[in-house]
Amino acid sequence: MSEAKVTILGCGSAKPTKTTSPSGQLVELCDKSFLVDCGEGVVLTMQKLGIHTSRLYNIFISHLHGDHCFGLIGLLTTLGMLKRTQPMHIYAQPDLQKLLQPLLDYHANDRLYDIIFHPINPRKHAVIFEDRTVSVETIPLKHGVPTCGFLFKETHRVQREDGSFDYETRKRYAYCSDTQYSEKIVPIIEGVDTLYHESTFLNEHGARSKEVKHSTAAEAAKIASLAHVGKLILGHYSARVEDHSLFLKEAKPIFDNTVLAEENLVFEI
Amino acid sequence: MSEAKVTILGCGSAKPTKTTSPSGQLVELCDKSFLVDCGEGVVLTMQKLGIHTSRLYNIFISHLHGDHCFGLIGLLTTLGMLKRTQPMHIYAQPDLQKLLQPLLDYHANDRLYDIIFHPINPRKHAVIFEDRTVSVETIPLKHGVPTCGFLFKETHRVQREDGSFDYETRKRYAYCSDTQYSEKIVPIIEGVDTLYHESTFLNEHGARSKEVKHSTAAEAAKIASLAHVGKLILGHYSARVEDHSLFLKEAKPIFDNTVLAEENLVFEI
């Protein structure tokens, strides 16, 4: 079985910059791919990285700000041109289908595959996906619009000494973007192997961060520390911070095992 | 006055590849900027190239295939975040407004600038924009859906010997994408300084090219030759051709002054 990993397809915030595109990640667990958020350019980056979509069946959208969903229509029409026949499942708030369906009807009506929308309630912590080896739970977040993160769990079947089988959780990955500082998420993400937590601002932007309901790098690190996670990945950088190493500088004193998301990087979970 | 030039923001066809994104060009004439087509990723490339949008007031969309318009919503919301107050004019077929308005209402309702849609008829050769120094005309093309190219003309005021003023046309640039081979466009683009003509396929894909109503590099070159243009730029390359120099190889024997569009390149008009 291939290793658990996450590929950063975009790690900027709403305003694109010279070095960052809007949010998107490919999470790979148990030989399956899961797309988390799909900002503009995600399908372009996937093509540039040579990422195949044949093992991608499930897309999770954290909230409906454009930098997290404008790339969906391009991805879904591209899959149509690639003659995909396997269904695609999209987990998002109900408004997404209302916004996307007219575009799909106009631009992708000749596709050979079904798109199945699964409405989710971002305010509730719940299991929204489960198969024999992977489950996904929502993580309610605090942002300007209803938003949730996603907790991915790898589950493996283990044979007991008496010959019967049990299931054990192995790798766990939590995606938390976008959110203001919220300790309410700590019990849900307690002890995960890897946490991606948004880090839009630096300490000097504290007031702005609160106003627009985002987090600073230090706040992301504090959450990582309280939740005893293995590794923290920062991302969703504001366009006003060109030098991303400043985020690391403010996070590391609080949580040492912190790394910076940058586009095209792959992290072991 | 700055030179007349065109910046290639995207020159692939519908399916993105490792080296090409969907269509988009910035045409600069008489110190004004005009965006022609806006595929996914155009605003990202503009940011990466450091292109400022303060002189951009007019966007022209050739047709409503996704690879020519999916980047509009991202661009228009980004302009909102940049606190733009000057209106933006969009010249396109009426369906574009129907598709875009619900997205603008949902994602960009707090913007401080107006978006003014100008419906165009792609089947008719007509002047659709005119100010004191630049005019733009539609060029009816032949494609699977109603499509037109755009002819840009620089007009300069010249003082006569008797003190009165006259107007003379200087630089002319024609954008023709997407289209099958059509000699009907020749009288409209006769003698332009620079012609961008789509070149989706090679000779070996001739049958496929006709079927999907696109052109080969040789056909683009034949149009350039018949219309006595100054320079031909090829683009809108099919994902099945990795080595773009093959397009040049088939075009140059027919029209020698041919160059290849590649992303981020700037051509003098």
pLDDT in tens, B31-73: 999 999 999 999 999 999 999 998 899 999 999 999 999 999 9
Residues A45-62 pLDDT 10s: 999 999 999 889 999 999
Nearest to B146 by CA among B24, B236, B62, B216: B62
User: Do β-strands A134-140 and A148-159 pair in parallel, antiparallel, or remain unpaired?
Assistant: antiparallel
Q: Catalytic site residue B243?
A: no
Instruction: Say which of A41, A102, A106 has its CB closest to residue B40.
Output: A41
DSSP string spanning A190-245?
A: TT-SEEEEE--B-GGGHHHHHHTT--BHHHHHHHHHHTT-SEEEEE-B-TT---TH
DSSP type of residue A41: T
Residue A113 · residue A80 · CB < 8 Å: yes
Mean predicted confidence (pLDDT) in A50-76: 96
Indicate if the pLDDT at residue A159 is higher than 90: no
Structure confidence at residue A165 (pLDDT): 84
Structure confidence at residue A1 (pLDDT): 57
Q: What percent of chain B stands above pLDDT 70? A: 99
Indicate if the pLDDT at residue B18 is higher than 60: yes
Indicate if the pLDDT at residue A84 is higher than 70: yes
Q: What percent of chain B stands above pLDDT 90? A: 91
B75 CA to chain A: closest CA distance, Å? 10
Structure confidence at residue A157 (pLDDT): 80
B222 pLDDT band, cuts 50/70/90, is very high
Mean predicted confidence (pLDDT) in A64-91: 97
Indicate if the pLDDT at residue B1 is higher than 70: no
Contacts of A22 in chain B (CB under 8 A): 74
Residue A257 · residue A230 · CB < 8 Å: yes
Distance CA(A221)–CA(A200), nearest Å, equals: 13
Q: What's at B103, amino acid-wise?
A: L
Structure tokens at A243: 């030098």
Distance CA(B212)–CA(B200), nearest Å, equals: 10
Q: Is A19 exposed, middle or buried (0-12, 13-18, 19+ CB in 10 A)?
A: middle
Contacts of A47 in chain B (CB under 8 A): 16-18
Residue B75 · residue B58 · CB < 8 Å: no
Other CB atoms within 10 A of residue A205 CB: 17
Residue A45 · residue A12 · CB < 8 Å: no
Distance CA(B214)–CA(B179), nearest Å, equals: 5
Indicate if the pLDDT at residue A2 is higher than 80: no
Residues B161-198 pLDDT 10s: 888 888 888 899 999 999 999 999 999 999 999 999 99
Instruction: Say which of B43, B66, B77 has its CB closest to residue A73.
Output: B66
Mean predicted confidence (pLDDT) in A228-242: 97
Q: Which residue did the predictor score with more confidence, A160 or B154?
A: B154
B247 CA to chain A: closest CA distance, Å? 21
pTM: 0.96
Q: Which residues pair with B12 in a beta bridge?
A: B237
Distance CA(A93)–CA(A255), nearest Å, equals: 33
Contacts of B41 in chain A (CB under 8 A): 40-41, 44
